[in-house]
Amino acid sequence: MNSQLVNCYMAEKTEELFKDSKGENIQQQSPLDETYLPITSRPQNVAAGMQSVGLNERSEEIEGRFQESLKTISEETSQLVQSLVEERELIRELCGLLAQTLKSLRISFSIPVECLTSLGVETKQVRLDKNAHLTVVWNDGKVWSRPLEEYHPAIILRVLLVVTPELERMIADCRRSVGRRISILEKVKRELKSVQEVFASFDRGGQRRP
């Protein structure tokens, strides 16, 4: 499980995930691209120290540093896994809250294709519906659709960055619309109460209402 999480973390590009798996209701993901990292550190010149330091002492020093590196790798991996688990839980919670909000407002979004370049140049349309399902339509007519939380975290973050400002604007528009309806309803309520008061005054004066 830890190796899968680490591989997910190391993969920054997700083009192959979509290019190799285009189509409707496809559940199996393609393998992630290999990531080649440059070596930024250089081992010290062992031969340079051989003249002043004994072979055994030098070997012990190298072994000690090797053990420290292994310990650091183990600690960093543990922290990485914890962070990935926390990220996954946050994504699940955020997508759930987003779905509830979209359902309540009965709105959906059309995501600009240029905002999700990792989906590939053949992408024709990207939509986020009221159930928080992200649907990708390719130029050849094939469709990929699944819950937003199942996409790569980088894609989820980009979608949220696009949707959040629009969601803010839509909520403000909805609030103003509701405010106008409330104003009209209050006016009608006042008029109806005024009519009832007129009828009540006739009743008190001994006159019958028609």
Residues 6+ apart with CB under 8 A from 134: 111, 126, 127, 128, 145, 146, 147, 148, 151, 155, 159
47 within domain boundaries? no
Q: How confident is the model at residue 121 (pLDDT cuts 50, 70, 90)?
A: low
180 within domain boundaries? yes
76 within domain boundaries? yes
Least Cα distance to 133 among 99, 88, 170 occurs for 99
The pLDDT of 156-173, averaged and rounded, is 91
106 within domain boundaries? yes
109 within domain boundaries? yes
109 beta partners: 128
Q: Domain range holding 67?
A: 2-24+53-204
Q: How confident is the model at residue 124 (pLDDT cuts 50, 70, 90)?
A: confident
43 within domain boundaries? no
**Threshold 0.85, pTM exceeds:** no
Asked if the model's pLDDT at residue 57 lies above 70, the reply is no
Count of structural domains, the chain: 1
Asked if the model's pLDDT at residue 31 lies above 50, the reply is no
36 within domain boundaries? no
Q: How confident is the model at residue 127 (pLDDT cuts 50, 70, 90)?
A: very high
Higher confidence at residue 90 or residue 24?
A: 90
pLDDT digit string, tens, across residues 65-78: 888 889 899 999 99
Six-digit token string for 9: 């973390």
Asked if the model's pLDDT at residue 173 lies above 70, the reply is yes
The pLDDT of 152-161, averaged and rounded, is 90
pLDDT digit string, tens, across residues 8-17: 444 444 444 4
Q: How confident is the model at residue 114 (pLDDT cuts 50, 70, 90)?
A: confident
Q: How far apart are CA 3 and CA 19, in angstroms?
A: 24
pLDDT for position 132: 92
pLDDT digit string, tens, across residues 128-153: 999 999 998 888 888 889 999 998 89
pLDDT for position 119: 63
129 within domain boundaries? yes
Least confident range from 20-24, 93-97, 155-159, 195-199: namely 20-24
